[in-house]
Amino acid sequence: MFYHDRELQYKVRVDKPNPVFARMLQQAIGGIEGEIRVCLQYLFQGWGSRGPQKYRNMLLETGTEEIAHIEMLATAVALNLEGAPMSVQDEFAKDKMVGAVLGGIDPRHVLSSGLAAMAVDANGVPFNGSWVVGSGNLAADMHANVMAEATGRVLATRLWEATDDPGMKDMLAFLIARDTMHQNQWLAVLEEIGGLAGAHPIPNSFPQSEENQNFNYSFVSTYIGNDTTEGGRWTSGPSIDGKGEFRVEKAQPLGGIPQLAPPEPRGHAQTE
């Protein structure tokens, strides 16, 4: 169950409202790197957790924190939209700057939401539930979470660079810090459940003896030329999971040419 506090987790202050920045902030709300995604991802992982209770608890706590981040960003969008241009015509002709701003805003902030945040990304593409990854495998999910916080922190640092509003920079410095912690948090779980050698290959519950032994540690080079290795770590030496030895193999076809049956008559292929 959940409870709400009317105060925000951290201060959201906008010194100079900028509707173009409002649009950019939408990426951190409804984009694939955004807070709705991590919020639902951690909550769904927690709700489906079938292992030790402490992971469920922790996932649900951090998922709950992420709702507060959506709240902060939604507030920041609304504050940045104050004073946005509401008309294309007169001002457009008279004031080039308004025209420029108009080009950069999300028109739906004016037309659809009445100067408020929406569940969409910086291009107005709606949040998509397919981004909510929970596989039932804790290690796979922790990697999904590290990835979400890594791309999320990259996004937040780019937003930080894109503005010189002190209030916005302060809010983003908070969110960037939280992403630092969350990256570490998911990595801590990975360490706890065995680290690289213990966890990989994921899932570690599938008997590796059943996988094809000729291809599980080979870099298959599909390069049409010759010098494929370039000394990459993945071309020789022990594999990172400690269970094999890297090697390089030129791609070659082992599967023959596939032969499908002729068309089923009731499927009405063309008579050629």
Q: Which of residues 54-113 bind Ca ion (CB under 5 A)?
A: 66, 69
How near is the Cβ of 182 to its own copies at its closest, in Å?
9
The verdict on 97 binding its own copies (CB under 8 A) reads yes
Measured from the CB atom, is 84 or 175 closer to Ca ion?
A: 175
How near is the Cβ of 38 to Ca ion at its closest, in Å?
6
Residues between 26 and 65 that touch its own copies (CB under 8 A): 27, 30-33, 36, 40, 43-44, 47-54, 57-58, 60-65
Residue 124 to residues 22, 31, 119, 121, 127: CA-CA distances in angstroms?
12, 9, 8, 5, 9
- One-letter identity of residue 214: N
Residue the block writes with tokens 């987790």: 9
The verdict on 205 binding its own copies (CB under 8 A) reads yes
Which of its own copies, Ca ion, none sits in contact with 248, Cβ below 5 to 8 A by type?
Answer: none
How near is the Cβ of 83 to Ca ion at its closest, in Å?
28
Tokens (6 digits) for 190? 């990975």
- Closest among 193, 26, 53, 177 to 113, alpha carbons compared: 26
The verdict on 123 binding its own copies (CB under 8 A) reads yes
What letters, b where the CB count within 10 A reaches 16 and e where it falls short, cover 38-67? bbbbbbbbbeebeeeeebbebbbebbebbb
Which of its own copies, Ca ion, none sits in contact with 7, Cβ below 5 to 8 A by type?
Answer: its own copies
The verdict on 140 binding its own copies (CB under 8 A) reads yes
Please spell the DSSP secondary structure of 36-58, one letter per residue: HHHHHHHHHHHHT--S-HHHHHH
How near is the Cβ of 168 to its own copies at its closest, in Å?
9
- Name residues whose C-beta falls within 8 Å of residue 64's C-beta, 6 or more positions apart in sequence: 2, 43
How near is the Cβ of 86 to its own copies at its closest, in Å?
4
What element of type H or E holds 220? strand 218-221
The verdict on 137 binding its own copies (CB under 8 A) reads yes
Which of Ca ion, its own copies, none sits in contact with 208, Cβ below 5 to 8 A by type?
Answer: its own copies
Residue count at the site for its own copies (CB under 8 A)?
Answer: 197
Beta strand 245-250 pairing with 237-238: antiparallel
How near is the Cβ of 98 to its own copies at its closest, in Å?
8
Per CB under 5 A, residues contacting Ca ion are 66, 69
